[in-house]
Amino acid sequence: MKRIYLDYAATTPVDPRVAKAMEPFWNENFGNAGGLYEEGRRAKEALTKSRETITKLIGAKPDEIIFTSGGTESDNLAVFGVANAALQVVARAVVSPSSKSDFGTPKKSDFFPGDLVVGQPSGVKPHIIITKFEHHAVLTPCEQLAKEDFDVTFLDVGENGIVDPEDVRKALRPETVLVSIMYANNEIGTIQPIAEVGKVVKDFRMAKEQILKDLASPTGVSTRNFSAEKYPCLSKFDTETFGKQYPYFHTDACQAAGYLDLNVNNLGVDLMTVNASKIYGPKGVGFLYKRSGVKIKPQIIGGGQEMRMRSGTENIPLIVGLAKAFELAQAEKDSETARLVPLRDYFISEVMKRIPKVVLNGHTTKRLPNNINVSILDIEGEALVLYLDSKGISFSTGSACTSESLDPSHVILALGKPYEFAHSSMRFTLGRSTTKTDIDYVMGELPKTVEWLRIVSPISVDMNASGMSHPEAFAGENLRVKAKSKSYKPDVLLK
């Protein structure tokens, strides 16, 4: 049976052109890039070329690209890297022998100029801003940091799934060290206003810098007042307490890399995550763009590869594959966008037309060209996945990255929707092989499957009801009966 794969946001097949580019590096040019001899030099050359390919596409310099094992590692490196570099300064502050007291204010001379000095001395924790619907590779590290030495603001994203740059501005504090907002959401595909947030972050840094200049000059106070009016939190800004280089701005661009412009200067980002497995490249490789001068603490250390930022023998075949996949993705992004947007909108309108009680999750147009995410109420997401799978259709419920968990999608919940909407959210993501014929086939199977599943479902949600997120919201006088009946077993569908 021909299969219709509609989970391109989970992972993509490797483009044959990418596989071909990797081919010579398995057992022909297999050298360790650290070797001085020919095999090593050839490996190093491939590494350098791959780095250059990427830097050109994003407007960066070669030493600003750190190759990693993928999106999760890059995201972790951005978050933990910035956080731990900031903490190192904190530690210096706390243990400083010249401190006034055990926890008194350390002297300016104890620190690098402009360094962050927070923690016990002032009782202020370094601060991070992210959205509520970041990928788990950013969210989980931030949740962990929030339990340790950091304050984290989890921004709302509104019912459309788009963060408001004004909310970022309001959340900024003198001690904010990192703002991390994904470029496009992996579940609902909504595109975030990264360039606008980039401007907000830059403006805030400039305000801090201006105040520092004013403090250094005996006369200049007007600008300080101006900046403090715009950013009230800066009115008590203290050079000895907070570093002017912060906050850094990071974006996870994994889902965006196939469709959007990734020029770091246009976006105004200091750190950017990209991986290969979402853009028809191999799994297990990605990069973190890190603007020169941005301080991170390396997370994987040893031989000192990647400018000491990420140790381990350089994975030349996969790095070559990443560069090739990224090059192709960026070259074809406009034509793919033009081809997929009508298919996406056709899919959405057909689903809405053919199936009752369906809600589109995320903004209607400010979303990736390949993303359809709908809550099909009253049905069990996993059952629909398994049933359509038997008809040759692959898609996912919530995010495939966390499907081992039965927790409802944190992304749908972040839109302010009740648990029932999260539990019944389905993600169909189109890709290079998707055609209108594929979608028509899906439309032939999906509505009747939903109808059948609803017959056997014990749940009937009132789409406009409030308080839907507790058992009373389920319209089941015979809920328990149905839930116990044999027909309500997803796995029966596979037989």
CB of 166 to a copy of itself, least distance (A): 29
Is residue 128 near a copy of itself by the rule CB under 8 A? no
Q: Which is closer to a copy of itself, CB of 113 or CB of 302?
A: 302
> Binding segment for a copy of itself among 174-182, 191-199, 347-355, 381-389 (CB under 8 A)?
381-389
Cβ atoms of 422 and 408 closer than 8 Å: yes
Q: How far apart are CA 195 and CA 172, in angstroms?
A: 17
Near a copy of itself by CB under 8 A, which window of 255-263, 333-341, 344-352, 396-404? 396-404
DSSP secondary-structure letter at 101?
S
Part of the chain binding a copy of itself (CB under 8 A), chosen from 57-65, 156-164, 386-394, 470-478: 386-394
Among 50, 54, 58, 70, binds a copy of itself (CB under 8 A): 70
Rule CB under 8 A: is residue 285 a binding residue for a copy of itself? yes
Residues in 431-450 at the binding interface with a copy of itself, rule: CB under 8 A: none
Structure tokens at 400: 């495939």
Helix axes of 436-456 and 316-354: crossing angle, nearest 10 degrees: 60
Report the sign of the C-alpha dihedral through residues 38, 39, 43, 46, in that order: positive
Closest distance of CB 120 from a copy of itself, Å: 12
Q: Which residues pair with 425 in a beta bridge?
A: 375
Smallest distance, a copy of itself to C-beta of residue 174, A: 26
User: Which positions from 400 to 419 touch a copy of itself by CB under 8 A, shown as an x/- string?
Assistant: xxxxxx--------------
The helix or strand, by DSSP H or E, that contains position 67, with its residue range, turns out to be strand 65-68
Binding status of residue 394 toward a copy of itself by CB under 8 A: yes
Which of the ranges 29-37, 155-163, 352-360, 408-416 carries the binding residues for a copy of itself, by CB under 8 A?
A: 29-37
Instruction: For the chain, give the longest Cα–Cα distance.
Output: 82
Interface positions, 291-320, toward a copy of itself (CB under 8 A): 299-305, 311-318
Helix (H) or strand (E) run with residue 24 in it: helix 24-27
70: left (phi over 0), alpha (psi -120 to 50) or beta: left
Binding part of the chain for a copy of itself, among 63-71, 168-176, 240-248, 464-472 by CB under 8 A, reads 63-71
> Whose Cβ is closer to a copy of itself: residue 55's or residue 277's?
277
SS3 state at 113: coil
Asked whether position 48 contacts a copy of itself by CB under 8 A, the answer is no
Distance in angstroms (rounded) separating the CA atoms of residues 76 and 340:
31
Nearer to a copy of itself, 167 or 382 (CB): 382
Nearer to a copy of itself, 234 or 322 (CB): 322
Q: CB neighbours (10 Å) of residue 275? A: 32
Give the up-direction half-sphere exposure of residue 295: CA atoms within 13 A in the CB hemisphere: 17
Residue 398: CB minimum distance to a copy of itself, A: 10
Binding residue count for a copy of itself, defined by CB under 8 A: 77
219 burial via Cβ count (<10 Å: 0-12, 13-18, 19+)? exposed
142 is catalytic: no
Q: What is the DSSP letter of 281?
A: S
Binding test (CB under 8 A) with a copy of itself, winner from 385, 422, 430, 461: 385
Name the DSSP class of 491.
G
Residues 79-118 that bind a copy of itself (CB under 8 A): none
Q: Which of 124, 389, 432, 443 binds a copy of itself (CB under 8 A)?
A: 389
Residue in 30, 56, 475, 487 binding a copy of itself, rule: CB under 8 A? 30
Q: Which residue has the tokens 């307490």?
A: 241
Q: How far apart are CA 168 and CA 197, in angstroms?
A: 7
Residue tagged 């989980």 (tokens): 140
Annotated catalytic residues are: 401
